[in-house]
Chain A
Amino acid sequence: MRVELDEPKCVAAGQCVMASPEVFDQRDDDGVAILLEEHPDESLLDGVREAVAICPAAALRLVEQ
């Protein structure tokens, strides 16, 4: 599975970091999300799915490969 972040859409809410801190972080200056793991381990996928679902900008997507 691959995580896609549409950075210009990100509104810096940080909801992804709370749902999945292993996979996401935020830039210090403007809070825009940073993708730490483009191909997260299977064990992290529940958190990533949660992050995709609650992202208030629909800026995240989990893509089957």
Chain B
Amino acid sequence: MSGAASGEATSDEAASDEAASGPMSRVVVVGASAAGLAAVETLRREGYEGAISLVGDEPHAPYDRPPLSKQILSGEWNPKRLPLRPYADLDALGLDLRLGAAATGLDTADRTVLLADGERVAYDGLIVATGVRPRRLPGEGPQHVLRTVDDALALRHRLGAGRRLAVVGAGFLGAEAAAVAAGLGARVTLIEPAPVPLAHAVGAEVGDVLSRAHLEHGVDLRTGVAVAEVTEGGVRLADGTLIEAEDVLVAIGSHPNTEWLADSGLTVGDGLVCDAYCAAGPGVYGAGDVARWYNPLFGTEMRIEHRTHAAEQGMAAARNLLHPGEGKPFAPVPYFWSDQYDMRIQAYGYLRGHDEVAVVEGELARRRFVAVYRTGDRVTGVLAVGMPPKAIRRWRQSIATGSTWEETVPAAESA
């Protein structure tokens, strides 16, 4: 990355930035979840001693979301286990912590964030980490969603033996919730508009074997079914059929929370549009679920809604905000996991839009395998179920180094 000449050039640029605007003394991070927390911790770790405001619309201190559709929904965990940091650690960061405070506007000329209560918070540097909110269905009937701890507890209290739950959307979130509800003895109908669940994310072959687990656990999986609306009695399908249920969970994806940026002059299009350095405008960076950025490792724009990604991008955005002249492109290998029934699914890379899938270890049908993904001539993804960590980590390495399919996969298949 270095070289004396470019090193000098970048530090000159940084020096002139500083001369023009003075040193940064007020950072505002909007969004108090995994990405926002990682950003504020990184600012402090990197030695920034100025003011930091951490603004979050929920009333809770930063907490973890993956357990919501797992241990919280099952009742295995008390919600007291959710906070991402003990209070003392949060306190030690010396934050101006504003919880229950939604950001409603951004004035980039004046460098101020407008809050719902009318207050204006000035910044030199801003990190946007406002996340996403669940999409909903039309209809008058009550809809559960699963994004916040309050959502999870509300659904948890409704589940139990013999209760009927309809889950719309058999993506990872819907599948996890269906698995937990079935485990609690609920009668679950899982409704998926696509012919094969998860096919767009992991391919039809893998999606098909994963979804068979639902059938084995007594979940009534209905695929290729269009949904019209949620009614008082359940879910009305496009053909008029009513799937009766006491409760309906809608898990059909999310909207990035960017409305508050509408008049900011920043570019918004399925997320806050950022460059390879996570920069969205002068002194403004994006991180987490809300940020769409150019990932140079895959040569494409992406927006990633994974837990690990939120922390990684929060860290990268904070570093690049502090050191703009020597910023590093953010080129991660995305990672996610999902727990369904007795399966632990883990994946690295960018699987969407792949051209080919090859099983290089184990057996699909036994749901114990490693599948690798090709896009163009590169290895771009790996997904494993029930395999030891080392079996998947070497493939992560192939993805990170941009290995070609030709040089990596035939050797593994014949081994």
Residues on B with beta carbons closer than 8 Å to the beta carbon of A15: 308, 335
> Interface on chain B toward A: helix, strand, loop, or mixed SS?
helix
Q: How far is the CA of A12 from the CA of B344 in the complex (A)?
A: 9
Q: Would you give the shortest CB distance from A30 to chain B, in whole angstroms?
A: 8
Q: Which of A14-60 contact B (CB under 8 A)?
A: 14-15, 17-18, 26, 28-31, 49, 53-58
Q: Which of B302-333 contact A (CB under 8 A)?
A: 307-308, 311-312, 315
Q: Would you give the shortest CB distance from A15 to chain B, in whole angstroms?
A: 6
B258 within 8 A of A: no
Q: How far is the CA of A15 from the CA of B66 in the complex (A)?
A: 16
Interface size class of B (residues with CB under 8 A): 20 to 34
Q: Would you give the shortest CB distance from B331 to chain A, in whole angstroms?
A: 15
A29 to B307, Cβ gap below 8 A?
A: no
Q: Give the nearest-CB partner of B311 in chain A.
A: A54
Q: Which of A9, A17, A49, A53 contacts B311 (CB 8 A)?
A: A53
B157 within 8 A of A: no
Q: Would you give the shortest CB distance from B176 to chain A, in whole angstroms?
A: 13
A28-B388, A53-B315 known; A11 and B81 CB under 8 Å?
A: no
A13 within 8 A of B: yes
A54 to B315, Cβ gap below 8 A?
A: yes
Q: How far is the CA of A49 from the CA of B42 in the complex (A)?
A: 10
B41 to A53, Cβ gap below 8 A?
A: yes
A12-B337, A26-B389 known; A54 and B308 CB under 8 Å?
A: yes
A13-B337, A29-B388 known; A54 and B312 CB under 8 Å?
A: yes
B229 within 8 A of A: no
Residues on B with beta carbons closer than 8 Å to the beta carbon of A61: 86, 89
B84 within 8 A of A: yes
Residues on A with beta carbons closer than 8 Å to the beta carbon of B344: 12, 30-31
Mask, B42-72, CB within 8 Å of A = 1, is 1001000000000000000000101000000
B389 to A56, Cβ gap below 8 A?
A: no
B175 within 8 A of A: no
Interface size on A, residues (CB 8 A): 21
B389 to A31, Cβ gap below 8 A?
A: yes
Q: Would you give the shortest CB distance from B312 to chain A, in whole angstroms?
A: 6
A28-B390, A31-B388 known; A13 and B308 CB under 8 Å?
A: yes
Residues on B with beta carbons closer than 8 Å to the beta carbon of A12: 337, 344, 346, 389
Q: How far is the CA of A31 from the CA of B391 in the complex (A)?
A: 11
A56 to B315, Cβ gap below 8 A?
A: no
Residues on B with beta carbons closer than 8 Å to the beta carbon of A11: 66, 337
A57 to B315, Cβ gap below 8 A?
A: no
Residues on B with beta carbons closer than 8 Å to the beta carbon of A49: 45
B255 within 8 A of A: no
Residues on B with beta carbons closer than 8 Å to the beta carbon of A29: 388
Q: Give the nearest-CB partner of A29 in chain B.
A: B388
- Residue in B42, B64, B86 whose Cβ sees the most chain A Cβ within 10 Å: B64
Q: How far is the CA of A17 from the CA of B335 in the complex (A)?
A: 14
Residues on A with beta carbons closer than 8 Å to the beta carbon of B41: 53
Residues on A with beta carbons closer than 8 Å to the beta carbon of B315: 53-54
Residues on B with beta carbons closer than 8 Å to the beta carbon of A58: 64, 83-85
Q: How far is the CA of A57 from the CA of B86 in the complex (A)?
A: 13
Q: Would you give the shortest CB distance from A8 to chain B, in whole angstroms?
A: 9
Residues on B with beta carbons closer than 8 Å to the beta carbon of A30: 344
Q: Which of A9, A28, A54, A55 contacts B389 (CB 8 A)?
A: A28
Q: Give the nearest-CB partner of B315 in chain A.
A: A53
Residues on B with beta carbons closer than 8 Å to the beta carbon of A55: 311
B38 within 8 A of A: yes
B158 within 8 A of A: no
Q: How far is the CA of A53 from the CA of B344 in the complex (A)?
A: 23
Q: Give the nearest-CB partner of B41 in chain A.
A: A53
A56 to B66, Cβ gap below 8 A?
A: yes
B307 to A56, Cβ gap below 8 A?
A: yes
Q: How far is the CA of A14 from the CA of B393 in the complex (A)?
A: 8
7 CB contacts below 8 A, A to B, read A12-B344, A28-B390, A31-B389, A54-B308, A54-B311, A55-B311, A56-B66
Q: A53-B41, A54-B308, A56-B311 are in contact. List 10 more A-B contacts (CB 8 A).
A: A12-B346, A15-B335, A17-B393, A53-B38, A56-B66, A56-B307, A57-B64, A57-B66, A58-B64, A58-B84
Q: Which residues of A contact B (CB under 8 A)?
A: 9, 11-15, 17-18, 26, 28-31, 49, 53-58, 61
